[in-house]
Amino acid sequence: MSKTIAVIEDEPFIIEALQFLLEREGFVVMTHSDGAGAVEFIKSVNPDMVILDNMLPTISGMQILETVRASNTIATLPILMLTAKGQKKDRSAAEQAGASLFMTKPFANADLVANVRRMVGL
């Protein structure tokens, strides 16, 4: 059965690239492009993992991460933070908030795919 990846990202061309890459690998990709409603989206999709941008409209990726980790139902969901804010302090803050993995933009497609496969146990 195909693994489902939830992508929360506000840049449409990055969404298209991620969707193409992951679907080509056989994943089901569900996307959402706003911080608002992101937690509800994750709950409704019930994915195997989440790729989460940090700088989103309305609510930041960090806030979404904290909300997920504090929830009863999706607290252990693997989350890959994918962000242009790649300074040490950003990485440290994401890790403290419970990110499973931290990747900075721009990324190599092969690295992203390899990390996703590993995080969903493939």
Partner 1 sequence: MPRTHLGTRIRSLRRSMGLSQKNLATTCGISPPYLNLIEHNRRGISGRTLIALAGALKVDPADLSEGMETALVDRVKKAALSAENLRVETDQTEEFTARFPGYARLIARLQDKADAQEHDFAALTDQMQNDPYFSEAIHMMLSSITTIRSTAEILSDPRGMDAGQSRKFTDNMRSEALRLSQTATDVLAHYEPSSGAATSTDISAFEALLEQHDHFLSDLEQSSVNVLQAIDAQLQMQPLSETDRAQMHASLQSYAQMAQSLPINLFLPAAKAAGFNPLRLAAEFQTNLEAIFFRLAHLPPAPDQPRFALLQVDGAGAVMYRKQLPSFALPRFGGACPLWPIYRSLAHPLRPLAAMLDMPFGERVFALSSAYPTEQASIPMPAPSESVMLATPDYALLDPALTATAPSLAVGLQCTICPRAECSARRSDYLLQS
Span of 6-14, 26-34, 69-77, 114-122 interacting with partner 1 by CB under 8 A: 6-14
Span of 15-23, 38-46, 72-80, 94-102 interacting with partner 1 by CB under 8 A: 15-23
Determine, following the binding rule CB under 8 A, whether residue 1 of this chain makes contact with partner 1. Answer: no
Cβ atoms within 10 Å, residue 77: 19
Determine, following the binding rule CB under 8 A, whether residue 55 of this chain makes contact with partner 1. Answer: yes
DSSP secondary structure code for residue 49 in this structure: E
Contacts of 75 (CB under 8 A, 6+ apart): 68, 69
Distance CA 62, CA 110 (A): 25
The strand pairing partners of 6, in sequence order, are 30, 50
Determine, following the binding rule CB under 8 A, whether residue 118 of this chain makes contact with partner 1. Answer: no
Distance CA 5, CA 26 (A): 11
Determine, following the binding rule CB under 8 A, whether residue 59 of this chain makes contact with partner 1. Answer: no
Determine, following the binding rule CB under 8 A, whether residue 108 of this chain makes contact with partner 1. Answer: yes
Determine, following the binding rule CB under 8 A, whether residue 121 of this chain makes contact with partner 1. Answer: no
Report the interface residues with partner 1, using CB under 8 A.
Answer: 11, 13-14, 16-18, 20-21, 24, 55, 84-85, 105-110
